[in-house]
Structure 1
Amino acid sequence: MSKLNINKNEWLELVFEGKNKEYGAYKLRQEDGKTTMKAFFSALALMAGLAALPMILSSFDKPKVVEPIDPDCVLRTVDVKFQPNIKQPKSQTAVANTAPKAPVQFATPVVVKREDATPTEIPTNADLPTTPSTNTSTTGTGTETGGNTGGTVTDPGPEVDPTAILPSVGLERNPNFPGGIAEFLRIVGNKFEAPSIDEEKTVKVIVYFVVERDGSLTNITVPRSPGYGLDKEAIRVLKSIKTKWEPGIYKGKPVRTSYSLPIVVKMQ
């Protein structure tokens, strides 16, 4: 096998014989060896510079000066006694265990179809039985004493605005329907006309109203309508009931009281 070196000038002259040697390819082939050597040494110089860069940068840092220890300085150990942490006893307060009062729950009226409901005659205030009141007086014998008895007088507080609407909580007596709230719910369920739809569905309607001082119902509203016209029907039913309630009592006087009534409607 013969050894041929195509980079020799003889081969270069042979290849470019009769051609334009001023063209760039001839010049590049002629200086190929020099270009390769320059690239090789340039790469070596770059690698050497990168390797020496940390040492060059560290030479600019100031040397750390370690101060010598004074020979006259004497180090001594001191025993320090720490006081143990004393936990303060927590003060125990006696708390009376009082059983929570059971919340009063009212039955929710269920609305059915008109043909399934039993007719109910709604009593008026004139038809309700009245209980005659008998006033008895007792005459006591003894000696009348005047002056300060030393007792504590309880301030009844400011008078309640007769136009103010009070919540049921805190009243001396809550408003009530003659015959009980169950009777009122039964009347509402019998008078309510539920709409007919293609599918069976149960909807809850919450009605808010005010029991006035004379027992009548005002401000009947349904803030959140469930649709199907149930809000208007609920308002109509409550307005149609003419029997008056017993008003709420606060400080011995009838007051306007806010009330809410949930109605469950089963539509078919």
Structure 2
Amino acid sequence: MKKITLLLLLLCSLTGFSQSTETQADNNIYNTAGIDTKPEFPGGIEKLNAMVNESYLKSGYASEKKGKVYAMFVIEKDGSLTDVKILRQVDILKAKELVRILTTLPVKWTPGKQNGKTVRVLYSLPLIIGT
């Protein structure tokens, strides 16, 4: 009986110390400068700017003067945007509206790639808003 118990304990300890063969998902956020394939918006940045500006003006900011606002966000592996921040000094309500517009865009980005794998990418760009 003691031999069987010892054998079971030995087998259990071996499985506890064995290495896992599972690969963990790469959730690092890469900079656009250091990746093989940069993320792209379908139709280009001009189309993105037009979509954002159209939504912004429809939100009741039609009388706004034309200006440049800097946005920074993470393009996820599925092409959606997260962690959106407006970097230039603007009114908090306008910044919240721009964040809402960017996170609810009907078109997703083509994500970036590193070593042939889709990765999360930190992206920043200037947006021209107003009329």
Same fold (TM over 0.5): yes
Unpaired stretches in structure 2, ≥5 consecutive residues: 1-22
Unpaired stretches in structure 1, ≥5 consecutive residues: 1-158
Q: 1:176 aligns with which of 22, 40, 54?
A: 40
**Contact 1:204–1:226 (CA<8 Å) still a contact in 2?**
no
Q: TM-score, normalised by structure 1?
A: 0.36
1:195 to 1:255, Cα distance in 2 relative to 1, 3 A: same
Q: 1:249 aligns with which of 108, 113, 116?
A: 113
Residue 214 of structure 1 corresponds to which residue in structure 2? 78
Residue 61 of structure 2 corresponds to which residue in structure 1? 195
Larger radius of gyration: 1
Which fold has the larger relative contact order, with Cα–Cα distance below 8 Å and residues 6 or more apart in sequence? Answer: 2
Question: 1:253 offset after TM fit, Å?
Answer: 0.4
1:243 to 1:208, Cα distance in 2 relative to 1, 3 A: same
Aligned-partner residue type, residue 208 of structure 1: M
Q: TM-score, normalised by structure 2?
A: 0.68
Q: Flag the structure with higher strand content.
A: 2
Q: Separation in 1 of the partners of 2:47 and 2:24? A: 31
Q: Hey, which bits of structure 1, 4+ residues long, moved more than 6 A?
A: none
1:184 to 1:160, Cα distance in 2 relative to 1, 3 A: farther
Equivalent residues, number: 107
Q: Separation in 1 of the partners of 2:56 and 2:34? A: 32
Residue 96 of structure 1 corresponds to which residue in structure 2? none
Question: 1:202 offset after TM fit, Å?
Answer: 4.0
**Contact 1:205–1:230 (CA<8 Å) still a contact in 2?**
no
Question: Tell me, what secondary structure is at the counterpart of 2:33?
Answer: coil
Is 1:163 the equivalent of 2:27? yes
**Contact 2:62–2:130 (CA<8 Å) still a contact in 1?**
no
Question: 1:196 offset after TM fit, Å?
Answer: 6.2
Question: 1:161 offset after TM fit, Å?
Answer: 6.6
Aligned-partner residue type, residue 37 of structure 2: R
